[in-house]
Amino acid sequence: MRIATTIDEVREQIAQWKAAGRTVGLVPTMGYLHEGHQSLMDAARQACDAVVVSVFVNPIQFGPNEDFDNYPRDLERDAELCEAHGVDLVFHPSADEMYPAGFNTYVTADALAETLCGASRPGHFRGVCTVVTKLFNIVQPDLAFFGQKDAQQLAIVKGMVRDLNLPVRVVGCPIVREDDGLAKSSRNTYLSAAERQAALVLSRAVAAGQRAVEAGERDAHALKRLMLDILESEPLARVDYLEVVDGLTMQPVERIGSAALVALAVYIGSTRLIDNFIFEEPPCC
Ligand code: PAF
């Protein structure tokens, strides 16, 4: 496995693979890899001849008061994990390599990026769309793999690929959870023991919401009330948002229809965690 820090090195390797007719899969990450990322690498390994993982804590997707400086980083451990999962190339650029002096061009998404995390984190998806576009241009993947935990990010990236005719297929992979239900996240590492326990309130609310919808609840307000009651019962939790939106448009819905996304962001102490579930109406007979 090779670790490249420059765009030129990556381009050279990709050109060789493409010349040999090999398909390329990309797993974009910010590092501090966990089992969620590993499932993306495994999916890429299954589907593609060559697998690239980018490890880059992207400064432009963090707001001024967010956790860019504290975001966990451990390239050595990440590289070992990548190697163990059959990754061929790790791309670990510096911020200057990605955003040299004079950098002046950004990619934005409109309506899809205005709700949920887009409303709580202004500028976040502009940073994500810009870095993902750059990674697509640098790596030229046939397939790119993203986790369903960031459901809005996945919808935005799919929309961007469609709207800008980018020659890549975006593959969404299921949320990976700890045994006790907590969705895997690099940010879980911020949690104290008491907060780690309190964080289970997210997956408890998700599971209860899922059960209610499966049992026939279709009123978004009633579903949110049920889930909020659970979230608000945890003293260490502060709800940032809990929304029921259309899974394609990311706009709030009153009735839970064919493809609804129920998404939440909750602060546990100062750590902001997200979780969600998607409800697909079973086809009627
Ligand atoms: O999901 C993430 O880790 C990041 O938003 C991504 C897609 C790697 C872009 O920096």
Res 161: pLDDT: 98
- Where does the pLDDT of residue 285 fall: very low under 50, low under 70, confident under 90, or very high at 90 and above? low
Structure tokens at 19: 């010349």
Residue 283 has pLDDT above 80, yes or no: no
Could you report the per-residue pLDDT of 158-217, keeping only the tens digit for each? 999 999 999 999 999 999 999 999 999 999 999 999 999 999 999 999 999 999 999 999
Res 37: pLDDT: 98
Instruction: Answer whether 127 contacts ligand 1 (Cβ < 6 A).
Output: no
Instruction: Answer whether 117 contacts ligand 1 (Cβ < 6 A).
Output: no
- What is the three-class DSSP state of 176? coil
Could you report the per-residue pLDDT of 208-242, keeping only the tens digit for each? 999 999 999 999 999 999 999 999 999 999 999 99
- Of 43, 72, 17, 68, which is closest to residue 176 (Cα–Cα)? 43
Instruction: Answer whether 30 contacts ligand 1 (Cβ < 6 A).
Output: yes
Helix (H) or strand (E) holding 165, with range, is none
Report the chain's mean pLDDT, rounded to a whole number.
Answer: 97
- Of 67, 62, 22, 29, which is closest to residue 45 (Cα–Cα)? 22
Ligand 1 centroid from CA 205, angstroms: 25
Could you report the per-residue pLDDT of 79-111, keeping only the tens digit for each? 999 999 999 999 999 999 999 999 999 999 999
Atom of ligand 1 nearest to the CA of 186: 3
Mean pLDDT, range 71-82, rounded to an integer: 98
Ligand 1 centroid from CA 89, angstroms: 17
- Give how far Cα 200 sits from Cα of 98, 137, 236, Å: 36, 39, 11
Instruction: Answer whether 186 contacts ligand 1 (Cβ < 6 A).
Output: no
Residue 284 has pLDDT above 90, yes or no: no
Instruction: Answer whether 131 contacts ligand 1 (Cβ < 6 A).
Output: yes
Mean pLDDT, range 246-264, rounded to an integer: 95
- Where does the pLDDT of residue 150 fall: very low under 50, low under 70, confident under 90, or very high at 90 and above? very high
| Best probe residue, ligand 1, of 54, 131, 138, 146 (max atoms within 8 Å of C-beta) | 131
Q: Which of 34, 37, 85, 92 is catalytic?
A: 37
Ligand 1 centroid from CA 109, angstroms: 15
Task: Quote the percentage of the chain above a pLDDT of 90.
Answer: 97
Res 280: pLDDT: 86
Ligand 1 centroid from CA 145, angstroms: 11
Mean pLDDT, range 64-89, rounded to an integer: 97
Ligand 1 centroid from CA 254, angstroms: 30
Helix (H) or strand (E) holding 246, with range, is strand 237-246
pTM equals 0.97
Task: Quote the percentage of the chain above a pLDDT of 70.
Answer: 99
Structure tokens at 156: 């935005």
Active site (annotated) includes residue 34: no
- Where does the pLDDT of residue 47 fall: very low under 50, low under 70, confident under 90, or very high at 90 and above? very high
Instruction: Answer whether 58 contacts ligand 1 (Cβ < 6 A).
Output: yes
- What is the three-class DSSP state of 15? helix
- Give how far Cα 54 sits from Cα of 5, 75, 91, 132, 283, Å: 10, 11, 5, 10, 38
